[in-house]
Amino acid sequence: MIYLELPPKVTNLQKMAHGLAKSMFRPISRKYDRAEHERPKELDAMKNMMGGSGGGMGGLGGGDKKDKSSGVKNGGNMIAIPAMIEMCWGDAGLAMAIPGQGLGNAAIMAAGTPEQKEEFGKVWAAMAITEPGTGSDAGNIKTTAKKDGDDYIINGEKIYVTGGGWASHVVVWANIDPSKGKAGIKSFVVSKDTPGVEVVRLEKKLGIRASDTAAITFTNARVPARNLLGSAEIKDKKEGFGGVMQTFDNTRPAVAAMSLGVSKAALDLTRELLAKEGVEVDYGKDRWDNDTVRAELEWMESEWEGARLLTMKAAWMADNGQPNSKEASMSKAKAGRVGNYIVLRCVELCQSVGYSERELLEKFARDQKIMDIFEGTQQIQQLIVARQILGKSSKELK
C-alpha cells in the first residue's frame, strides 16, 4: 500500500533540495531569466551531487530500493518527486538546466537495457520528440531511422528540444519502419557530436528562460544499432510505440512535480506579502468564516495538496511495477491546471506588486504556463484518462 508520509531518506533529500533551491537558485533566478541562452555555470557543481542522489530527471525510472518493513519500493521515481518540487520552488528553468538531468536521462532509465543504462547513464541527454508537423500526436512522427549494417541512418527535424543546446546527447524518437505505422517508432541515444546532427536554432520563450530549448536537424546521422533503446524487434503497436510511450509514465509525474514547485513558490510568496499587510489565514476557523482572500488561499492550498498526492501515487506505482498510465496523466493534468490557476490568482491577489518585477510572482506565472503544455497538453491528458476509464482505444476515442 501507499503511505501518505514520506520516509526519512526522502525527507532528508527533500530538505537538501530545498536548501539548494533557496541558497543557489533563488539568488540567480532573475539573472538567468534576463540572460536567456547563457548557460548557468553555477550549476556545474551540482551534476555529481544530484546525479548521485537520484534527485533529478536522471533518477526517474531507476529506483529499486525496498522498504524492509513493508516490502514496497521507494525507488527513483518517488524519491525524485519531492526533490523536483523543491528545486522548481527555487527556479524551474534552473532545475532543468542542471547538467546530467535531462528528460532523455529519464527515457534511458525507463526504456534502456541494463547495458544501455550502464553505458549512457552518466551522459546528459535531452529528449527530442516534437516535430514541425507533430505536436500532441507523437504517433505522427516523420523522422526515420533506416538500418544500414550495424548502424541506423537518422533523418528528420525536431523542435522544442528542452536542454537540446547544452546536453551532450539527445534521445531521438524515429520510425525504423514507416510501413508499420506507430509500431515502428523507437528511441535512439544520439551524441550531438555525430556528423549530420546540427542545432539550428535556440528558441526565445515566455518562461523557463534559464533552460535552453533547441531545434535540431538530423541529416544522414549514422548511429550504432546498440543505441536503440530496448528491443529493435517490431511486434505490434503495443510493443513498439506503446513501449516508447511508457517513458511518459515516468516523466509526466515529474512535470507535475515541476508545476507543484512553481505554484508552491507563488503561494509561499503571496502568503508572505499578504502577511505584511495583516492578511493571514486562520486555520482554526471554518473556511466559510474567513473573508474572501483568506478563503481563497485556503482553497488553493487544498487543491495543491490534492495534486501533490496524485503525483506521489503515480510515481509510487511506477516504482512498484504497477501500470500507472492513467494516474500519470491524472497527476500531470491536475497539477498543470491547479498550478496555472494558483500562480495567476496569486499575481491578482498581490495586485501591482504581483505584476511588477519587484517580486518573482510575474516570473512564476510565466514559468508555470509551460507545465500545462509540454509532456502532453491538458487536453491530451484528459483524453488519455478518458480512454483508460472507458476502455476505449485511440481510434475509438479521439
Distance CA 303, CA 292 (A): 16
Helix (H) or strand (E) holding 224: strand 213-224
162 bridge partner residues: 213
Closest CA to 21 of 212, 268, 198: 268
240 bridge partner residues: none
Distance CA 338, CA 296 (A): 13
305 is catalytic: no
Distance CA 389, CA 379 (A): 15
Q: Is 126 helix (H, G, I), strand (E, B) or coil?
A: strand
Task: Check residue 67 and report its DSSP letter.
Answer: -
Q: How many alpha carbons lie under 13 Å from residue 147 in its C-beta half-sphere?
A: 12
Task: Return the number of other C-beta atoms located less than 10 Å from residue 2's C-beta.
Answer: 13
Distance CA 186, CA 245 (A): 10
Closest CA to 103 of 58, 40, 46: 58
Residue the block writes with cell 516523420: 142
Contacts of 209 (CB under 8 A, 6+ apart): 32, 33, 34, 36, 93
Distance CA 354, CA 273 (A): 9
Helix (H) or strand (E) holding 161: strand 151-162
- Known catalytic residues are 375
